[in-house]
Amino acid sequence: MDDYHNSRSLPSDDLWLKVINEGVEDRVEVNQRMLIDKMLARYSSDFVVYRELIQNSDDAQATSFTLEITCDPYTVTQNYESINNDSISMNQEQLDKNDQTSSENDFNNCIITEIRTVNNGHVFSEDDWKRVITIAEGNTNVDAIGQFGVGFFSVFSHSERPMIQSGKHCLAFVWQNGKSLTTFRKELPFEEQSSLTSIILSMKNKYILQTKSIFETNEIINEDIKNKKVHVNRKRRTKSKKNIITNEIVPTLDLIQLKAYFTKVLSFTKYINELTIKINGTNIFQVNKTRKSLSSMKLTSTSKRFNFNNEHNLFRFKSLIQTEQKFSIVNNSSITLNHIDVEAEVIIDKNFHKQIQGVIKKSLPATIHIEFLFPSNNIFEDEQWKILTTNNLNNQILKGLIPFKIHDEQIIPSGQIFIGLATHQSTGIGMHVFSHLIPTIERENIDLQDPYISIWNEQLLASIGKIVRIIYDQTIHDTINNISQKSNQQINAILSPYAFQTSVPNKDIGRILLDGFFSSDKDILVPVKRSPSDQHLSLISSTEAFLTTSKYIQSFLPVPLVPFDIGQNDFLKILKKHQWIEEIDHDTILVKVQESILQFDEFIGLLRWLCSYDVNNKSYIKQILLKIRYRETHQSSIIKLEKIEFYDTLNLLSLPLPSNVLPSNIVNHISRDDLQKRLSLSVISVKNLFEFYLMNDQQYLFQNENTSRIILSFMSQRWNQFNQTESNKIKNILSNLKCIPTNHGMKSPNESYIRPPYLSDNLPIITLYIPQISTDDNHQKDKQELINYPVSTEFLKSIGCRAIHVPTSTNNLTIQSNNSSDDSQTLENFIQNLLQQRKNMSDNDLHALKHNPCIIGTTLETNNNEIKRKYKPCDLHFPSVANRLQWNQLPIIDWLDINPRSQEYSFLKELGVREVPDLHKLISRIDQEHNQGSKLRAEYKLPHALIFFAENFQQYYSKWTNANIKILFLPSSSPF
């Protein structure tokens, strides 16, 4: 314990000196191969070699980069199979068939023998040659992306003996003893020298070139595939294959994924604008980028407000340049995205700068660039979007540039952080972001662990968030200024990039961006409708606007509201979460509704909201319904409803209702179930409405032709719902009102006539629509709206209206008689016309016909020269009676061949035409026949009238008594 105590008590500095002075020296050996192999093993991204070489080329200001793959075509074999058996789906074949050349497919499953990259950047300087053979020194150029000086050595993952040919020289790497790495550099003959730089990698291991595979994307699922319900293979692509004979596992180079990777590489390259893939000297794929400056630079001035005089702020924005960048796959599709480049001055303390230099071994730049790549506001409207949604592999590759996904019709931000090239880190917004962020060694994640670098990165991320705010302000301003061309759905799409989803894998990245976004004290503008009647959206501060919990609230509430569907956007939810905007509450709604005069549609919107499950408080609903004021149109008068208890289903337009009744034109927009269960309303009864309209203060409605027509139609259709007492009460009231519209104005019922075909216009003819009567009356033909308010003849008759005018009918008959050569036909027509009107005749009409001369009469002796005349029906007989009695002088109807089984016969009988003579006349006829015949017994014949009397006695004369008969009519003879 004492020895241990003594050793621990020796100061560390003294102990160090003692060991140095007295110890045995032994040099540290570095196994360079193991160092490089272990370093490469920590790189988790695909295509890391190409990433590093492309980045180095961009740092060398190359404008083009070509990957040349050399394959052995004789190695194509079917002996290799996917380890996961992820065969290409039919969908993928459909995606591929128009995008892959036959020469490309010829190399599927070939063994790669060499990979060569060629760029046209600056050839290597002497410093470059020295730096490339030094591990971990890195590029000291402050503008270069490389930080650690280890990226180039990723080439050893492919080749044991990589070579670099640049300018006049060629350098080769050689392993000695399997541990140490050395190089040889030689100046080339003039004819072998080049202005290009090539990296030549002879493959140390087998690699299979796979040109047919599953296109793996995290972007948008093609709508055509989705709608057709074609099976989409969801298996992950394989990264190796197995020899089915030897079981040897061989890694693959997936050409389709490489194309997608190369396309995305161009997102933020500073100089490179063209990437090419060749196989055995044949161009297989080429993608390029072109830039176009935008004339509008409105964002530049707004950036100044973020340049706070804060000692902790490391960056001061200097300028902003906005361009369009067009990415094109040669001989195929293209896509155009917006690009913003903000230049910022670095303001940094010397001591702090020195601390960071100690970590990254290079100085920080005096100015940095913060760049953004994102879709234009019109991406969903452009023709390019229609092209990109076609079932095409190259289109899917181009869509991989778009920093969002679509899932269940929702736009989900999926931007990435770029440090030169894309990293694994998402931004949480719908923008790709590039800047001078300092990553971890493998350049896939942002370093937030180092105490000094984390300050730099956090400040830079916050500045990025501030610029996102600048972009938002300008975007929303431009959007609303062009609102006539955009729907709410399109505005939703425009807002979606700002939804600030959780960033992955590091959540803090998105949080810091969000903090930067909200760091300004300036109001955040949001789109609102200031009132339900507004046709266009306007911008106001989010603190003055409200969100709604229902789509109905915006349809009636006169306060600045974010439209409901826009309010569902995640960006608005973020604003609410950070208390930049509030939801409207029920108390505010109650006050505003009672203060307002609602329009028709607004009132419906209010009721729909009350019927929704957003409102479950019955007491609150009653409070709302205590007092409602609304207009049916902007010009119409105010309708006041109070203590609403009932609703109208009878659709009595243009008529007032009791103030506690919800009108039918409102009710038609609400379900019966909601009216009864949600609003606790009952149907207004017919009897209650009748009582309301017959009240003294409502009888003015009957003096107006239009309103009277509606009320009478309403009563007519429901007349059978009233008992006799109730009907008589209504009749008594209406009989004293000039309530019937006629061609002579408003008349009382007993002054009004239901028109038959021949009724004169000189009479007050009812102009109501009576379905039972077919007429070509121009009064009704010109008023088709009358059809909407029918009345029945039964109703009109029951309240005292007349169906026929007997004098007019008789006059018409006389006129026809005097001008016709066939009077019997005239009578027949007359009777048939009356018969057609029989159902429409009132009791008074029938009484008038029975007791007025209206039927043409004649006798069997009538000749063509005799003028026939009209009789009362009861004074005439059917012709068959005269024939049977052989009574030529008996007055009969002028219709000799009338069918006794016809309706006309029955109708004439109803009017009083006789089937048998009056008893007194018949007895007189018996006496007459007796006196005219022979009295001799042998020649005597019984009178026809006596025989008729006997035959019809039981049916027609059985109630006869002889008290009043003074004429002797029974023939008799003496027995002697």
Is 976 a member of any domain? no
Residues 209 and 100 in one domain: yes
Is residue 598 domain-resident? Answer: yes
- Which tens digit of pLDDT belongs to each residue from 386-399? 666 777 888 889 98
Asked if pLDDT for residue 866 goes beyond 90, the answer is no
- Is the pLDDT confidence value at 671 over 90? yes
Domain shared by 383 and 340, yes or no: yes
**Looking at the predicted structure, is the pLDDT value of residue 221 above 50?**
no
Helix axes of 488-495 and 453-481: crossing angle, nearest 10 degrees:
160
- State the pLDDT at residue 269: 93
CATH number at residue 114: 3.30.565
The SS3 of residue 559 is: coil
Q: Establish if 727 belongs to a structural domain.
A: no
Our count of domains for the chain comes to 6
Closest listed residue to residue 402, CA positions, set 425, 429, 368, 371: 429
Same domain, 147 and 122: yes
C-alpha distances (whole Å) from 114 to each of 69, 106, 134, 181, 460 are: 6, 17, 25, 21, 41
Which pLDDT score, from 0 to 100, does residue 274 have?
Answer: 97
Summarize the confidence of residues 639-653 as an average pLDDT.
Answer: 86
Q: Considering the chain, what percentage of its residues have pLDDT values greater than 70?
A: 81
Contact 461, 427 (CB under 8 A): no
Confidence of residue 444 (pLDDT cuts 50, 70, 90): confident
Select from 487, 506, 522 the last residue of a domain. Answer: 522
- Whether residue 425 is found in the same domain as residue 533: no
Average pLDDT of the segment spanning 60-85: 84
Which of 584, 602, 621 is the endpoint of a domain? 584
Average pLDDT, integer, range 187-200:
92
Could you tell me if 543 and 515 lie in one domain? no
- Which range (676-690, 755-769, 925-939) has the least confidence? 755-769
Give domain status of residue 33, yes or no. no
User: Model-level pTM?
Assistant: 0.69
Task: Say whether both 440 and 513 belong to one domain.
Answer: yes
C-alpha–C-alpha distance, residues 160 and 155, integer Å: 9
Q: How distant is the alpha carbon of residue 581 from its chain centre?
A: 26
Structural domain span for residue 311: 307-522
Whether residue 505 sits in one domain with residue 654: no
Are residues 462 and 569 both part of a single domain? no
Regarding whether 391 and 419 lie in a shared domain, the answer is: yes
Residue 121 lies in a domain: yes
Task: Specify if 766 maps to a domain.
Answer: no
Chain centroid, CA 217 distance in Å: 28
Which structure tokens are listed for 974? 């003496």
Residue 934 in any domain: the answer is yes
CB contact burial 950-961 (16+ within 10 A = b; e otherwise): eebeeebeeeee
When pLDDT is averaged across residues 849-865 and rounded to a whole number, the result is 80
CA 243 to chain centre: 54
What pLDDT is stored for residue 12 in this prediction? 74
Q: What is the pLDDT, as a whole number, of residue 224?
A: 37
Domain presence at residue 190: yes
CB–CB of 436/365 below 8 Å? Answer: yes
Mark out the alpha helices in 550-596 (DSSP H runs): 564-567, 570-577, 586-595
pLDDT of residue 28: 55
152 and 99 share one domain: yes
Residue 963 has pLDDT above 80, yes or no: no
Q: Are residues 422 and 545 in the same domain?
A: no
Tokens for 602? 């607004």
Query: 63 and 100 in one domain?
Result: yes
